Amino acid sequence: AQSVTQLGSHVSVSEGALVLLRCNYSSSVPPYLFWYVQYPNQGLQLLLKYTSAATLVKGINGFEAEFKKSETSFHLTKPSAHMSDAAEYFCAVSDQGGKLIFGQGTELSVKP
Partner 1 sequence: EAQVTQNPRYLITVTGKKLTVTCSQNMNHEYMSWYRQDPGLGLRQIYYSMNVEVTDKGDVPEGYKVSRKEKRNFPLILESPSPNQTSLYFCASSPLTLVRPDSPLHFGNGTRLTVT
User: CA 70 to CA 14: how far, in whole Å?
Assistant: 31
**Residue 99 interacts with partner 1 (CB under 8 A)?**
yes
Least gap, CB of 60 to partner 1 (angstroms): 12
The answer to whether residues 49 and 32 touch, using CB atoms and an 8 Å cutoff, is: yes
User: CA 73 to CA 93: how far, in whole Å?
Assistant: 11
Report the Cα 68 to chain-centroid distance in Å.
13
Under the phi-then-psi rule, with left for phi > 0, alpha for psi from -120 to 50, and beta for the rest, what region is 53? alpha
Cβ count within 10 A of residue 88: 16
**Residue 98 interacts with partner 1 (CB under 8 A)?**
yes
**Residue 96 interacts with partner 1 (CB under 8 A)?**
yes
**Residue 64 interacts with partner 1 (CB under 8 A)?**
no
**Residue 14 interacts with partner 1 (CB under 8 A)?**
no
Q: Among 42, 56, 70, 112, which residue interacts with partner 1 (rule: CB under 8 A)?
A: 42
Complex with partner 1: residue 18 or 100, whichever CB lies closer: 100
Q: Among 21, 94, 108, 110, which residue interacts with partner 1 (rule: CB under 8 A)?
A: 94
User: CA 62 to CA 91: how far, in whole Å?
Assistant: 17
**Residue 70 interacts with partner 1 (CB under 8 A)?**
no
User: For binding to partner 1 (CB under 8 A), which residues are involved?
Assistant: 6, 9, 32, 34, 36, 41-46, 49, 51, 90, 92, 94, 96-105
